[in-house]
Amino acid sequence: MKNWIIAFVLLSPVSLNAQDNAPTAKDTGQESVTVAKGDDATAGPSQHEKAKQELKQQERQRILGVVPNFNTTNVQNAAPLAVGQKFQLAFHSAIDPFEFVAAALDAGLSQWQKDFPGYGLGAQGYAKRFGAAYADQFSGIFWGNAVYPSLLHEDPRYFRKGEGTVKRRLLHAISSTVWTKNDNGTWGPNYSNVLGNLTAGGLSNLYYPSSDRGVGLTFQRAATVTAEGAIGAVFVEFWPDISNKVFHHN
């Protein structure tokens, strides 16, 4: 969620001509494809091909042309992702240049506030904070968006509602951190996100200073990241509406 806060602060003055790469019905690969077989015709691509087309569009989505929004889909009946596609999406997000920028800004803020005093100050202290910040981001994405969703057959994406009352959309966004779509199309507890945050929090004990380790801090960090994820989902849910109002996008 820190990424969304950093992005909002930095990009709010950006030119009003900035465009969001939001998928359209045409871009999402929802159009019927006809494959001829003799005199017969079979409509529609396979589930894997459909997911591939939708994923290709998702990986071009950016807010204000800068902030990656790869993990969001506007397609309510989006095809389930195969294991390889889940890892592809996760790594594409984790190694995006913006993640390094966000980690650098996070590390600078952390050093300014003198968080994690065990790291010290100066260039060496900043380098340690930067490494920890990026490791947190990468670990959270890797476990919460790739490993656990593959093992538990859950979809790691945020399914943007995009319509309905503000209250319904708000509840939909907030609940997404604990409630998600499964690969079989049903909805259920978002074990992947919760376990991913706990795993990332636990692994951070390997590189945080000894004064910032422990079971209590692990659960505290996991709860904080989960709450930040809910705020981030609200931002993603309503950003197109804000963009339309402020930038007059169609």
State pLDDT tens for residues 124-138: 999 999 999 999 999
Token couple for 34: 């006809």
Q: What is the pLDDT of residues 51-85, one digit of tens each?
A: 999 999 999 999 988 999 999 999 989 999 999 99
Structure tokens at 149: 């969703």
- E strands within 70-125? 72-73
pLDDT > 70: percent of the chain:
81
pLDDT digits (tens, 9 = 90+) for 189-204: 999 999 999 999 999 9
Give the tokens for residue 233: 């989902």
β-strands 158-159, 179-181 pairing: unpaired
194: left (phi over 0), alpha (psi -120 to 50) or beta: alpha
Whether pLDDT at 10 is above 80:
no
Residue 40: its pLDDT value, please? Answer: 43
